[in-house]
Every structure is written in C-alpha cells, then in structure tokens.
Chains A and B, each alone.
Chain A
C-alpha cells in the first residue's frame, strides 16, 4: 500500500491564531472552561503529545474512532497505534518538528484500531518548541483514501494496459477522425512516433485508393450509425510499406449519449496472413507430393534417391528407407528397357548414353521435357508399368542439383484399355451374332464394317469384299421401293442416315445387277454419337423380309379376295333383298287379286243364284269364300312380318306401361263385352322403336286376350323383373296355356298349337313378336302349363 505525504503550507498569522491557546486560556477562567469543553466535545481527534512522541492528553473522540480508552493511550507513544510501515514516516516528521525546521506539518497515517483494523487518519501536528509539546489534530480520511486508491489503481492499470499493449494500436480519434492519443502498439503497428501523428487524420493510415474511394469517412459513418465498424484490409505504414490490418472503430459517447470521439484498435495481421498463405501452399505441395496416385522420386544430381513418396512406396513395394541414399531409379528399373533406351538416345543424340540413371534423365538434364513409359521392377520382382515425367531440379544459379521423376500408375490405364478391349470384343460379339445385318460407315460414307449377317445377306464371302464406299456398291446393287420405284444412291438408306434421318422399318428391294438375286429388306439405322454427343459414325441395320413380304402379299391378296367376295355377297344380298321386296309387292298384289275374284264371284253366285242352288251348293260356295278370305289374311300377315323385318328402326325412349294401356284399351273397345282384369306395372320405360314395340305388345296382349276368352275371371298382367340394366318384361295370362312339349313350335311361322275353330289366328303373331324382340337385341321365351295360363318373357 502506498502512502502519500502531504505537506500543507500554513501562513504565519493563521498559525498563530490557532496556536495561541495559552493566551486565550490565560485571559479568563470561563474561556478556559469553554476550551476544555470544545476539547471534550470535538468529533475530531485532538491530542497533546510530548516531543518524544508520547500521548499526554487525548479527547474522547479517539475512543470513538479507534476503540481504545483514553487511559489506554495516555502515556503511550503515538507510534504504538501507527501502522508499522508508517512508523518511520511518523518518527521522521516528529524529528522535523523537534528540530524546529518545521513547526507544523501534516501527515496521513494508517492507524490501528483496537479491533486490529486500520483507519487512514490525517494528522496535523503543531509543535510548541518552548513547551516541548506537540498539538495534534486528527481526522479520519479512510473514505477518501480508499476511493483515491481505487481510482489510482484503476487508472494505472488502464495506463499500463494501453501503454503496454504492443500488438495493438490503440488510438483515440476526435469527431473528425484526428488522432488524439497514441500508444506503443500504435507506434509499432503504424511506425509513427506520437509527436509525428497527433492531430493528424487517421486516413493517413489508409492506402491511397481507399482514401480516394472515401473509405475513412465511410468507416466513421458506419461506426457512428452502428456503434462499431470493423474492417480488414491493407493499411500503409509510415515508411510506405503495407500491412494487412484488422481495424475496429468504436464510437465513444458520454453520459448524455453525445458523441465525443472514436476509439480505433488496429492489429497487424500480415504475419498471420502470410503464414496462412504459406501454410496453404505447403499443404498443397505436401498433398501433391504425398499423393499415392503418383510416384514421386527425387534424386540428387548423381541419381541417388533422396525422396521416395508414399505413391512410390505403394506402387513399387519399397519402403522409403529401403532406397533413400542407397540406390538410383535405374536400379529399380527394367534393365533391358534401360539398355534399349540408352541405345535409342545414343542414336538420337549421337552421344554415348550409359544404360543406367543417365538413360533415365538424359533429356531432362539437357532441359528437354521428357515423358516416357517406364517399367519399374517391384521389390517382389514383379513388373510395373508407369508413365514417367522427368524434370531436372536446379538451384538459384541454374545448376542441376537433382532430378524429380513423377510416375503415374499405368496399370490402371492398362486395365481400362483391357476392359475397353474386352467390351469392344463383347460389342463385336453382339454385333456379329445379332440376326440383323449391320453395316457401319464413317461420316463420309466409307463402309467400315459389315457383320457376318450383313456379308451373308449381301452375298459377300469375306470382309474385304465389303469394304467399299457406298457409291461403289451402286455398281453391284440396285435398290428400289416395294412399289418398284428405283432409289438413286442419294436415297439409299445409308445416304439418308448420313443426312441425319433416323430410319426404322423402311422396306425396299435390293437386286444384284445382272444376276438373279432379288430380295426384300427392312432397313433401319441412325447416326451414332460418341460420349460427348458428337456424331461418330452411321449404322445401317437390315434384315431379309422377302419371305415375310411374300407371306404378307399372300395375306393381302387373300384379304382382297375376301373383300371382293364380301362385296359380291353384299351385292347378292342387296339383290335378294330387292327381289324380296319385289316379291312381297307382287304377293300383295297378284296373290290377293285372284282371292278377291274367288270370293267376289262366289258371293255373286250366292246372291244371284241362291234359288237355283241346294243348301250343299251354298255351303260349298261359302267354304270357297271362307278359304279365300283366310288366305287373304295369311298373305296380309306374311306381308306384315316381312315389313317388320325390313322397317327402319328409330330408337327412342318408349313408355311401355303407357303403350300397354293403349293396346288393352283398343282390345277392350273391340270386344266391350268381356270382363278382363288387367294389372300393368307403371313406369316401365325402355329404349326401342315405338311402332314396332306397339306391334309386339299388341300381338302378345291379343294372344292373352284370345286365350283367356273362355274364362270368366280372365286376368292379364304386364310387368318386369331384374335390375334396371337387365330387365326382363313379362306378359302373363291365366288362359288355356299350352303344352310345354310343343314350346319349340311357338315361334315358328304358321305354327299353331290350337285348333283354328278353338282360337282363330294365322300363327304369325308370335313370330312377329320374336322378330321385333330380336331386332331390339333381346330374346323372348315362354313358360306355360296346359290349362293354367302362359307367361311370355322378353328382354330388349
């Protein structure tokens, strides 16, 4: 702990004023009492000591400040409560007072309290030489002292820090960027002494181009806006050299947040940067040198191996220690190859080259770049092929100090070549064995290759025969389209492919000129691209489709014949149809006319000659009439049936329920006397021809109506079953029914299952219904039990 001694000068009169208590004391007893009271009441420590330094009298304030009783201190030396380190100071001051060179002094001392702690006390001592007494006024300055010390220590530390920092330039700038303070680090970093730089703008540190670009101002602005601005870049020293710097600019603000200036911390990173760069370069070199993909062998100028990298170790099987300073690369090379190389070099350069290391570096030693294929002999005696690049190593004076032989692992390349050859062989095998002919040409149309099939197809016996230009083939072959149109050479498949067309299934005929050789081929092909997408060659494939063509011709001829036959049949059918219509027409006219005559004239006889004829005669005439009319009806029904088959269908939505009601109404009105119960399901809608369906329903209901005629409780039902898309409709009656044994005859024309006198009819009705149902793509069937009615089912 430091101690400060403060000497306070006191003027003479003031001193006297204070130091003349005796005078005051003497003047009156009450005054003396007052003084004594002041002495006792003073909060300041007051004491009288002897010249020797012992307490004589103390006021009560001492007790309060230090904890001792006055009795404990009285008669004791002052020094007994003073810090041992301050003892000397005290005694020196007391000495001064005694020698009377100074009658008055003031010292600050640390004094021990009763509890052992220390207080800083300021002692004002006044010596009265005559009485050999010292009057002491003491007050406690511990508080001030502690604060002062703390401040001092802090400032000192900061100063030491700033002064002592050599690696950083710590500089204060004013608002405009002028330098206010300069530390040792700044001197070291920037190279200016403080008197050279103080007051100058910090832009002096920047390189000219940055100054021109306004960088210093920008940095200040940035620091002002963001509080801090950091920048890394080149700076200029006082001597003009550059250094790589990291600069941190901080805005300084006072308690009122008013800008007072900037602090600038600059660090020289040049060394670090260089180190980084060096490190990188060294790493790179190391990485290259240690790459196991290259054998790097460095020798001295005589060829003795000095460096043998991991690549060399891996490729050649030697450890570096096996060869370093022991052998030359020639010692681990194929000797025969060396001899050959030496011979070749001797010939080339007209100088004797020894079949040793010299042969390996001869060219390099003469400054000629040299790359060659070299066979090393591995430690285990096996051979290893390498492509070696040789360079001479020279010192600063260009004298050769060694050689560097860098070799690549050629075996990998050899392997690639082998696998390439293998895959080529495979490809060749494929090309040779596919069933199509393959011809390969270069982009100029020179035919490079024919596979066996191609040779075979073209009638060549050897590859040599086939190796021609496309144009030469025109001497041998003619090509034409299947339709016989000749193809000029420029339209031959290869020519088209060479123009960039992609062909597939192009069929054409090929003929050998002057020979009986005529085949049909299907051609294909395209330009083949290499790995980089560049056109490399043209490929034409072709296969013999002569047989296929023949087969196809036969097929198409048969097709044509078939079509012809179909056309003929159609025509015949049309004719038949027309004939049928003509027939129907004439039936309608010509067959009916005689019937009319039969009927008419029979009737005329009956009318005109009734009185001349017997009953029997009349009956016979009636029979003629009846038969005529019946035949007329038959013809009528036949014509209807024929019309049913021929009529155009017009499909629409038909409300079968409504249709059934209408038909039944007609039946009822035709025979109003009959009481028949109907049950017609509602909402039966179907797609069909309304007119035809009406005829069908009319026939079915007429039948039902007819065959229920003998029952009193006749009942006819119409309904459907099944899902909407596969409905089955039915017409059911409770009439006489029929025997299912004859069901097969139901739908035959003119087939009747009942005697004509029981139930009249021509046997055409159900055939007509069946025709109509069939024309709607449906089917119809019936079920019945004799005497228990019949049900007709149909679909549409």
Chain B
C-alpha cells in the first residue's frame, strides 16, 4: 500500500495547486492535508482529531510550509526530529520564503530539502514532479526499508 504524503499548508489555493501538481505528475500517494502545525503534529502522533491513528505509520514524505497558524513550520520540524518515531522521516520544506534565515533554520532543524515555491505554475509543477521522483521513487529511507521488511 502506498504511503501517504502529509501536506502541511494553511493556504487553500496553494493546497489545491500542490495537489493538482502532484496529480499532474502522476503521483498517486494519498495526500493528507494539515492546515496548521497543531493539526500536522496531531496527525503524526495520533492526537487531537487523529486519536487512534498509529504513529508508527510514518508518511512517505512531509511537505511543510513554514508560515503556519498556531505552531509554525520550524517548530513542527523540531518536534518531528525530537521524536524517535518520526526522527528519520523525510521532510521537505515547501515555502514561499526565500529568507536566508529560514533556510539556515530549516537545515539546522534537520530538514531533508528546502524548496521555494515559484510563482510560475509551470515551474511549480516541474518542481513537484522532481520532488516526487526523488523522494518517493529514488530515495531509500529507513522507513521504506523497514516497511518492506515488515
């Protein structure tokens, strides 16, 4: 069974465009959308609205926006990396911000990739295609290995 992609995005337009771009590139993984940091963490750790969800079922990829209501992207990343269950999860920051500080904080926080969303949708689609190709197909993560093993 294909593992989910967790899209953490508060802007519905961006959410829709991202999902469209994924589909356009024939990435068929289920996309779970969290609209702020709290929701994202609840999903990951089986809390709040997601009580009962098995945190052991780690998403194949987390696409994380930085500017989020309640808990921002950097904090979400920090908590992901602080928990043994999600420590090795693939997290890609997908954001509008090109601020150097955000880049630095992102990589310091242990992000796997930092992608700026281009304004040009054609370009954006291309970026998403490459993301999917790389993180979902080419990249070997510990979780995918374990999952194959189990």
Residue from the list A588, A602, A633 in contact with B96, Cβ < 8 A:
A588
* Chain B CB within 8 A of A106 CB: no
User: Which of B20, B67, B96, B118 has the most CB atoms of chain A within a 10 A radius of its CB?
Assistant: B96
**B120 & A588 in contact (Cβ 8 Å cutoff):** no
User: Which residues of chain A are within 8 angstroms of B114 by Cβ–Cβ distance?
Assistant: none
**B17 & A601 in contact (Cβ 8 Å cutoff):** yes
Q: How far is the CA of A341 from the CA of B11 in the complex (A)?
A: 131
* Chain A CB within 8 A of B134 CB: no
Residue from the list B17, B67, B99 in contact with A600, Cβ < 8 A:
B17
User: Which of A594, A597, A632 has the most CB atoms of chain B within a 10 A radius of its CB?
Assistant: A597
8 A Cβ contacts from B100-131 to A: 100, 117-122, 124
8 A Cβ contacts from A481-495 to B: none
User: Which residues of chain B are within 8 angstroms of A601 by Cβ–Cβ distance?
Assistant: 13, 17
1/0 per residue, CB under 8 A from B, across A622-640: the answer is: 0001001101110010010
Q: How far is the CA of A636 from the CA of B99 in the complex (A)?
A: 11
User: Which residues of chain B are within 8 angstroms of A625 by Cβ–Cβ distance?
Assistant: 120-121
Q: How far is the CA of A391 from the CA of B36 in the complex (A)?
A: 129
**B121 & A596 in contact (Cβ 8 Å cutoff):** yes
Q: How far is the CA of A364 from the CA of B95 in the complex (A)?
A: 128
* Chain A CB within 8 A of B97 CB: yes
User: Which residues of chain A are within 8 angstroms of B14 by Cβ–Cβ distance?
Assistant: 593, 596-597
* Chain A CB within 8 A of B98 CB: yes
**B96 & A596 in contact (Cβ 8 Å cutoff):** yes
**A597 & B13 in contact (Cβ 8 Å cutoff):** yes
1/0 per residue, CB under 8 A from B, across A587-613: the answer is: 011001111110111111000000000
1/0 per residue, CB under 8 A from A, across B79-108: the answer is: 000000000000000011111100000000
1/0 per residue, CB under 8 A from A, across B26-42: the answer is: 00000000000000000
Residue from the list B20, B67, B99, B124 in contact with A596, Cβ < 8 A:
B124
Q: In the complex, what residue of chain B is closest to A635 when comparing beta carbons?
A: B119
Q: How far is the CB of B119 from chain A (nearest CB, A)?
A: 3
Q: In the complex, what residue of chain A is closest to B18 when comparing beta carbons?
A: A600
User: Which residues of chain B are within 8 angstroms of A585 by Cβ–Cβ distance?
Assistant: 97, 99
User: Which residues of chain B are within 8 angstroms of A603 by Cβ–Cβ distance?
Assistant: 121-122
User: Which residues of chain A are within 8 angstroms of B118 by Cβ–Cβ distance?
Assistant: 596, 632
**B97 & A588 in contact (Cβ 8 Å cutoff):** yes
**A596 & B117 in contact (Cβ 8 Å cutoff):** yes
Q: How far is the CB of A388 from chain B (nearest CB, A)?
A: 108
Q: How far is the CA of A588 from the CA of B101 in the complex (A)?
A: 13
Q: How far is the CA of A116 from the CA of B128 in the complex (A)?
A: 168
**B121 & A639 in contact (Cβ 8 Å cutoff):** no
Q: How far is the CA of A595 from the CA of B17 in the complex (A)?
A: 12
Q: How far is the CA of A370 from the CA of B77 in the complex (A)?
A: 120
User: Which residues of chain A are within 8 angstroms of B17 by Cβ–Cβ distance?
Assistant: 596-597, 600-601, 604
8 A Cβ contacts from A552-590 to B: 585, 588-589
On chain B, which size bracket covers the interface?
A: 10 to 19
Residue from the list B99, B122, B124 in contact with A588, Cβ < 8 A:
B99
User: Which residues of chain B are within 8 angstroms of A629 by Cβ–Cβ distance?
Assistant: 119-120
User: Which residues of chain A are within 8 angstroms of B124 by Cβ–Cβ distance?
Assistant: 596, 600
Q: In the complex, what residue of chain B is closest to A594 when comparing beta carbons?
A: B13
Q: How far is the CB of A625 from chain B (nearest CB, A)?
A: 8
**A599 & B96 in contact (Cβ 8 Å cutoff):** no
Q: How far is the CA of A401 from the CA of B131 in the complex (A)?
A: 146
User: Which residues of chain A are within 8 angstroms of B95 by Cβ–Cβ distance?
Assistant: 589
**A596 & B97 in contact (Cβ 8 Å cutoff):** no
Q: How far is the CA of A604 from the CA of B13 in the complex (A)?
A: 12
User: Using a Cβ cutoff of 8 Å, how many contacts connect chains A and B?
Assistant: 60
Q: Given contacts A600-B124, A603-B121, A629-B119, is CB(A592)–CB(B20) below 8 Å?
A: no
**A595 & B119 in contact (Cβ 8 Å cutoff):** yes
Q: How far is the CA of A639 from the CA of B100 in the complex (A)?
A: 11
**A604 & B20 in contact (Cβ 8 Å cutoff):** yes
User: Which of B98, B100, B118, B121 has the most CB atoms of chain A within a 10 A radius of its CB?
Assistant: B121
8 A Cβ contacts from A724-748 to B: none
Q: How far is the CB of B11 from chain A (nearest CB, A)?
A: 6
Say whether chain A's binding surface is mostly helix, strand, loop, or mixed: helix
Q: Given contacts A588-B97, A639-B98, is CB(A593)–CB(B11) below 8 Å?
A: yes
**A592 & B121 in contact (Cβ 8 Å cutoff):** no
Q: Given contacts A597-B13, A601-B17, is CB(A589)–CB(B119) below 8 Å?
A: no
Residue from the list A600, A631, A639, A643 in contact with B13, Cβ < 8 A:
A600
**A632 & B120 in contact (Cβ 8 Å cutoff):** yes
Q: How far is the CB of B26 from chain A (nearest CB, A)?
A: 15
User: Which residues of chain B are within 8 angstroms of A602 by Cβ–Cβ distance?
Assistant: 121
Q: In the complex, what residue of chain B is closest to A636 when comparing beta carbons?
A: B98
1/0 per residue, CB under 8 A from B, across A616-656: the answer is: 00000000010011011100100100010000000000000
User: Which residues of chain A are within 8 angstroms of B117 by Cβ–Cβ distance?
Assistant: 592, 596
Q: How far is the CB of B116 from chain A (nearest CB, A)?
A: 9
User: Which residues of chain B are within 8 angstroms of A594 by Cβ–Cβ distance?
Assistant: 13
Q: How far is the CB of A621 from chain B (nearest CB, A)?
A: 11
User: Which residues of chain B are within 8 angstroms of A636 by Cβ–Cβ distance?
Assistant: 98
Q: How far is the CA of A604 from the CA of B96 in the complex (A)?
A: 20
**B119 & A596 in contact (Cβ 8 Å cutoff):** yes
Q: How far is the CB of B115 from chain A (nearest CB, A)?
A: 13
User: Which residues of chain A are within 8 angstroms of B96 by Cβ–Cβ distance?
Assistant: 588-589, 592-593, 596
Q: How far is the CA of A636 from the CA of B116 in the complex (A)?
A: 12
Q: How far is the CA of A625 from the CA of B122 in the complex (A)?
A: 10
Q: Given contacts A593-B13, A593-B14, is CB(A599)–CB(B97) below 8 Å?
A: no
Q: How far is the CB of B23 from chain A (nearest CB, A)?
A: 11
Q: How far is the CA of A100 from the CA of B53 in the complex (A)?
A: 198
Q: How far is the CA of A602 from the CA of B122 in the complex (A)?
A: 11
Q: How far is the CB of B123 from chain A (nearest CB, A)?
A: 9
Q: How far is the CB of A563 from chain B (nearest CB, A)?
A: 33
Q: How far is the CA of A723 from the CA of B118 in the complex (A)?
A: 47
Q: How far is the CB of A690 from chain B (nearest CB, A)?
A: 16
**B119 & A632 in contact (Cβ 8 Å cutoff):** yes
User: Which residues of chain B are within 8 angstroms of A639 by Cβ–Cβ distance?
Assistant: 98
8 A Cβ contacts from B65-80 to A: 67
Q: How far is the CA of A477 from the CA of B96 in the complex (A)?
A: 78
User: Which residues of chain A are within 8 angstroms of B11 by Cβ–Cβ distance?
Assistant: 593
Q: How far is the CA of A444 from the CA of B128 in the complex (A)?
A: 100
Q: In the complex, what residue of chain B is closest to A640 when comparing beta carbons?
A: B98
User: Which residues of chain B are within 8 angstroms of A633 by Cβ–Cβ distance?
Assistant: 119
User: Which residues of chain A are within 8 angstroms of B121 by Cβ–Cβ distance?
Assistant: 596, 599-600, 602-604, 625
User: Which of B17, B20, B119 has the most CB atoms of chain A within a 10 A radius of its CB?
Assistant: B119
User: Which residues of chain B are within 8 angstroms of A595 by Cβ–Cβ distance?
Assistant: 119
Q: In the complex, what residue of chain B is closest to A643 when comparing beta carbons?
A: B100
**A589 & B97 in contact (Cβ 8 Å cutoff):** yes
User: Which residues of chain B are within 8 angstroms of A600 by Cβ–Cβ distance?
Assistant: 13, 17, 20, 121, 124
User: Which residues of chain B are within 8 angstroms of A599 by Cβ–Cβ distance?
Assistant: 119-121
1/0 per residue, CB under 8 A from B, across A243-274: the answer is: 00000000000000000000000000000000
8 A Cβ contacts from B1-27 to A: 11, 13-14, 17, 20
Q: How far is the CA of A625 from the CA of B120 in the complex (A)?
A: 8
Q: How far is the CA of A604 from the CA of B24 in the complex (A)?
A: 10
Q: How far is the CB of B118 from chain A (nearest CB, A)?
A: 8
**A628 & B122 in contact (Cβ 8 Å cutoff):** no
Q: How far is the CB of A580 from chain B (nearest CB, A)?
A: 13
User: Which residues of chain B are within 8 angstroms of A632 by Cβ–Cβ distance?
Assistant: 118-120
Q: How far is the CA of A343 from the CA of B67 in the complex (A)?
A: 126
User: Which residues of chain B are within 8 angstroms of A592 by Cβ–Cβ distance?
Assistant: 96, 117, 119
User: Which residues of chain A are within 8 angstroms of B120 by Cβ–Cβ distance?
Assistant: 599, 625, 629, 632
8 A Cβ contacts from A638-681 to B: 639, 643
Q: How far is the CB of B63 from chain A (nearest CB, A)?
A: 15
Contacts A596-B14, A596-B96, A628-B119 given; 5 further ones with Cβ under 8 A?
A592-B119, A594-B13, A604-B20, A604-B121, A633-B119
B residues engaging A (CB < 8 A)?
Answer: 11, 13-14, 17, 20, 67, 95-100, 117-122, 124
> Which 3 residue pairs across A and B have the least CB separation, nearest first?
A632-B119, A600-B121, A597-B13
What are 15 contact pairs spanning A and B, CB under 8 A?
A588-B97, A592-B117, A592-B119, A593-B13, A596-B17, A596-B117, A596-B124, A599-B120, A601-B17, A625-B120, A628-B119, A629-B120, A632-B119, A636-B98, A643-B100
